[in-house]
Structures are given as C-alpha cells and as structure tokens.
Structure 1
Amino acid sequence: MHPIRAFRDEDRRLHEALIDQIGFGMIFAQTPLGPRVAHTPLISTGDGALQFHLAVGNGLTQHLPGNTALAVVNGPDAYVSARWYGQPDQVPTWNYVALELEGHVRRMEEEGLSALLQQLVDRQEARVTEGQPWTMDKLSPARLTGLLKGIVGFEMEIGSWRETVKLSQNKWAAERERVTRGLDSAGANGIARLMRDLVS
C-alpha cells in the first residue's frame, strides 16, 4: 500500500467493483517452506468475505485453513512519462490501482464450493458476447465429481481492506489532464478512464 494519503479511496463500493470487474487475484501466505502465492478467480460475498478455490496440489492449499492470508487484486496500471507534466524537475512514475485484503481463512464444504463455481461460471459467461453461455450441467455427474475432488474452496473473512488508488492526485488539475491525454495516446485507456472518473 502506497504511504501517501492522497492515494487512498475508502469507498467500499469501489473495492467491491474492483473485485467484481477484475475477478482474479493473488493469495499470499506463510508456509513452513516459506512464503507462497497462488493465483485464482475471486468472488466477493458482499458482506465482508472473499471466496476462491485452489488445486489440491497447490503449495498453499494445505496451509490456508485456520490461518491468515493476504489477497491482492490489481487493477489498471501504466507508466507515466515526465514529459507529460510540461514542467521541469519532474520524474516518471507509475499510476495504478490495487486492493489488499487480509483475513482469516476457512475451508469450504463441498456444497459451498459447488455454489462458488456456479457463481463464477455464471458471472463470467454473462460477459462472453458470442454464442450460448456454457453451464455446469453440460458436465456429466461423474466428470463433475472428479473435478471437485481436485480443488478446494476457501472463504476469507476480511479483517483489513487496504487500497492504493494512485491517479496523479498529488498533481495540479492541468498536469493530471496532460497525463490523462498522454495515457490515452499510449493506449493505457483503463487507467486514463479511472483518472477521469475518480479524480476531480
């Protein structure tokens, strides 16, 4: 988390939207073999918990239940050229949006895991514009049972939400506008759009 207070946005709706729109993140935890990270789809329950699943053989799976973990969701990011400021004595930087979630993790029962997978599939398939949505009922019961044995569902009870929303808030409005145009010209439209939407 960036130490400058200007790069905070404690709006929980923004945090939830980031989890929903990105839908993917990293889970970090300490294990007897050292720190480990896993990459996984994420679902927010909307009431302060985060759900995800990992392969049975993942290096974190056996160490997560009952322990504290850190989840990180990375939003748009882009290099900011010093030439865009239009003033001397400036340096390049990087604008980005990131959310850190820390909390206690429990293992889900199989019923909860099935519901998590159904929600993930439904949410992501709704974003695919061509063809008919894929549904889990296309799997045979035997195939689904076999797949479920290979993964473990988890729920993190979020105790801390820590965000960084670094969108040139420490610059004058005219400088931010030049940076926004520069980002658009460089193809970094996601971070440019956030600068327009979130920074007055």
Structure 2
Amino acid sequence: MHPNPAYRHADRALREDIVEQVGFGTVFASTPDGPRVAHVPIVSTRDGAIQFHMAKANGLARHLDGATALAVVNGPDTYVSARWYDEPNSHVPTWDYLAVEMEGPVRQMAEEGLRAHLEDLTGRHEARIADGEPWRMAEADPAHIDKLVRGITGFEMEVKAWRETIKLHQGKPERVRARIADRLDEQGAGAIAHLMRTLAS
C-alpha cells in the first residue's frame, strides 16, 4: 500500500463496499513452488471474512488451505496530467486509484460451503443486471453443475488485516481537486471523479 497516511480511510464499511462493488481481485501466497497468484471473484461476508474460488488446477489451490494469504481488490484508477494543475511546470503526472488489501489465514471450504458461495456470488451479480430475469443456478443441468464444482476449490479468508489506499489528491486545495475531477469527467473517468469530489478532503 502507498506509504502516505493521508491515503488511508478509517471506514471499514467503505473498504467492504469497494470489495462488493468490484467483486474481483487477486490472491497471493508463498508456496513451496515459489510465489503464486490467482485471479478470482471475491465476496465479502461482511463479518470479517472474504470468500473466493479457483480452478483446482491453479498452481495456488493445493497450497492455500491453512496458509496465510494476501488478497487485493483494485477499484477505479486514472492517470492525472501535470497540465491540469495551476502551475504544471512545478508538478509531474501521477496516478490516482483505490485499492484494498486483505491479509489472513485461509481455509478450504467443504463442498456444501462452496455451493452456497457460488449461489451467493451468482445472486449478487445477477441482481445487477438491469434487463431480464436474473439467472439462477437451479436453471442449469445439475450434472453440469456437479462437473464444474468438481473442478474448483472454494476458500474463506479470515481477514486479520485491512490495508487500503484511497489516493484522490488529498491535501491539495479544493479548487485543484475540482479542476482535476472536471478533467477526469471529460476523459470518461466519471467514477473516480465522483469519488474525488465525495471522499477526498
């Protein structure tokens, strides 16, 4: 995480909201085969844990049960031009971004827990679809679901440490942040422009 304490945010609900809204991240761990990473859908249980799953053939899957791992979810990010400042010659370009790190011990789920996780994951994301009826796992051929479940492993991490970077030009004058947010809107980066207006101080 970025070392500047100005880019921290004490609101755990905000961290969990980022995890919820993004819904996808990376899990890292050291293994006997060397460092390994998996790119996975992530669900916050909202009670201090996250759940995720990956293919059994993933190089990380067979080492995670009982290990301590690091999960990272990245929120919106954007390049910021030095020309957007009052005095561009005294600034350099930078990058604004949101990221949440979660660290803790991992346990493998039993099949029943994995199936519940998949139902929850699917339900959460199907609910975001604006048109049509949300798809449910019950609509699929049970034999097909059984085959897919045999090929993946589910995990739950008890999050012992949350570390976030919310870098939105904190510490800059309000007029500077407002100008940068306007430029970001023009560039199509409306999500981070909105966060800059509402979260940065």
**Band the TM-score falls in, shorter-chain normalisation:** over 0.9
Residue type of the partner of 1:187?
G
| Structure 2 equivalent of residue 3 of structure 1 | 3
Residue type of the partner of 1:180?
A
Structure 2 residue ranges without an equivalent (≥5):
none
Is the 8 Å Cα contact of residues 10 and 163 (structure 1) preserved in structure 2?
Answer: no
* Superposition misfits of 4+ residues, deviation over 2 angstroms: none
Q: C-alpha distance in 2, partners of 1:165/1:131?
A: 35
Please show how residues 62-81 of structure 1 align to structure 2 within 5 Å: 62-81=62-81
| Structure 2 equivalent of residue 154 of structure 1 | 155
Any idea what the Cα deviations from partners look like across 1:83-125, whole Å, max 9, x if unmatched?
Answer: 1111141111000000000000000011110110000111111
Please show how residues 30-179 of structure 1 align to structure 2 within 5 Å: 30-87=30-87, 88-179=89-180
Structure 1 residue ranges without an equivalent (≥5):
none
Q: Match of 1:113, SS?
A: helix
Aligned-pair CA distance for 1:128: 1.0
Q: Percent sequence identity over matched residues?
A: 57
Aligned-pair CA distance for 1:71: 0.3
Q: C-alpha distance in 1, partners of 2:106/2:36?
A: 15
Calculate the TM-score normalised by the size of structure 2. Answer: 0.97
Residue type of the partner of 1:104?
P
Q: C-alpha distance in 1, partners of 2:79/2:124?
A: 31
Q: Match of 1:42, SS?
A: strand
Q: Which moved more, 1:149-158 or 1:84-93?
A: 84-93
Any idea what the Cα deviations from partners look like across 1:39-68, whole Å, max 9, x if unmatched?
Answer: 111111111001000111011000100000
Calculate the TM-score normalised by the size of structure 1. Answer: 0.97
Residue type of the partner of 2:117?
L
Aligned length: 200
Q: C-alpha distance in 2, partners of 1:24/1:10?
A: 22
